[in-house]
Amino acid sequence: MAEETIFSKIIRHEIPADIVFQDDKVTAFRDISPQAPTHILIIPNKLIPTVNHVTEQDEQLLGHMVIVAANIAKQEGIDESGYRLIMNCNKDAGQEVFHIHMHLIGGKNLGRLIG
Ligand code: 5GP
């Protein structure tokens, strides 16, 4: 069994977070340490520790996360200017919270992806 993280508490509304969207499959909330004017995390309500743990059963769930991200980008008014979706996996990517999450980042020119 994977260990719960702080994100499980956010999903259950046990600790405060600026939740911008929630349904039975996913929760989206503003990052506590935003790297751009819009920085929102989209997470599955089900605990999946890393992208390595995603299975074929999660196909719909992951697709739903992307659709939710695109809808939120529109709400934030950055769908046309552009944004970046990032999922970090393990140490070299700097994953800090072991409950998969998609960063939705935008609202400024983000420059090159690496370096
Ligand atoms: P990672 O590096 O794992 O891809 O990203 C984890 C993200 O979660 C970081 O951007 C960090 O600022 C954010 N984060 C960590 N703890 C909390 C929290 O308690 N609340 C919110 N809203 N964001 C958090």
Atom number of ligand 1 nearest to Cα 98:
3
**pLDDT tens-digit readout, 43-59:** 999 999 999 999 999 99
- Kindly state whether residue 66 falls inside one of the protein's structural domains: yes
Side-by-side strand order, sheet with 38-44: 19-22, 26-30, 38-44, 102-106, 83-86
- Kindly state whether residue 114 falls inside one of the protein's structural domains: no
Atom number of ligand 1 nearest to Cα 101:
4
- Kindly state whether residue 64 falls inside one of the protein's structural domains: yes
**pLDDT tens-digit readout, 23-49:** 999 999 999 999 999 999 999 999 999
32 in contact with ligand 1, CB cutoff 6 A: yes
Where does the pLDDT of residue 114 fall: very low under 50, low under 70, confident under 90, or very high at 90 and above?
confident
**31 CA to centre of ligand 1 in angstroms:** 6
Range of the domain at 56: 6-106
The enclosing domain of 23 has a CATH number of: 3.30.428.10
- CB-count exposure of residue 7 (10 Å: 0-12, 13-18, 19+): buried
pLDDT of residue 60: 98
Q: Encode 24-44: b = buried (16+ Cβ within 10 Å), e = exposed.
A: eebbbbebeeeebebbbbbbb
Q: Where are the beta strands (DSSP E) in 15-114?
A: 19-22, 26-30, 38-44, 83-86, 102-106
- Kindly state whether residue 10 falls inside one of the protein's structural domains: yes
Active site residues: 101
- Kindly state whether residue 92 falls inside one of the protein's structural domains: yes
pLDDT of residue 2: 86
What residues are paired with 30 via a beta bridge? 40
- Kindly state whether residue 115 falls inside one of the protein's structural domains: no
- Kindly state whether residue 111 falls inside one of the protein's structural domains: no
Total domain count, the chain: 1
**pLDDT tens-digit readout, 57-105:** 999 999 999 999 999 999 999 999 999 999 999 999 999 999 999 999 9
